[in-house]
Amino acid sequence: MKILFLCSQNRLRSPTAEAVFAACAGLETLSAGVDSDAVTPVDAELIEWAEIIFAMENSHRNKLRQRFGKLMDGKRLVVLRIRDDYDYMQPELVELLKKKVPPHLPGLQAKSPSKKPAGIPAGF
């Protein structure tokens, strides 16, 4: 499954999410930013590539729909509601991502420590 993580600048939250879930079997992850001066600005090619898009805030969802309109039709988009309060790979951010993302990715949810699906990063 192809997963795109979005935040504003593509410096802290979305690159952290990309790194955390890159180790999961069966997932391809990328990240981008919705602001024009982002490290990697989101573009139509990334939107088309993604099977599911995770936006960190409602404002990111709104910018996507405003900029890409029709291209977003039928695209699975989840808003994680993670504020811009964290540094890259900050443990609290990593834990928040591990809590909020897997419920939207069938097969990645660990039912119990002994029944953890293959490819889940340590700590799930």
Domains of the chain: 2-115 (3.40.50.2300)
Q: For the segment 41-63, what is each residue's pLDDT rounded down to a tens digit?
A: 999 999 999 999 999 999 999 99
**Cβ–Cβ under 8 Å, residues 87 and 93:** yes
- Structure tokens given for 57: 């805030």
Task: Look up the pTM and report it.
Answer: 0.86
Helices (H), 26-119: 44-49, 58-68, 91-100
- As a whole number of angstroms, the distance between CA 79 and CA 124 comes to 20
> By CB neighbour count within 10 A (0-12 exposed, 13-18 middle, 19+ buried), where does 6 fall?
buried
If we measure between CA atoms, which residue out of 29, 26, 27, 46 comes closest to residue 38?
A: 46
What does pLDDT average to in each consecutive run of 10 residues of the chain (124 residues)? 97 98 93 97 97 97 95 95 97 97 78 40 52
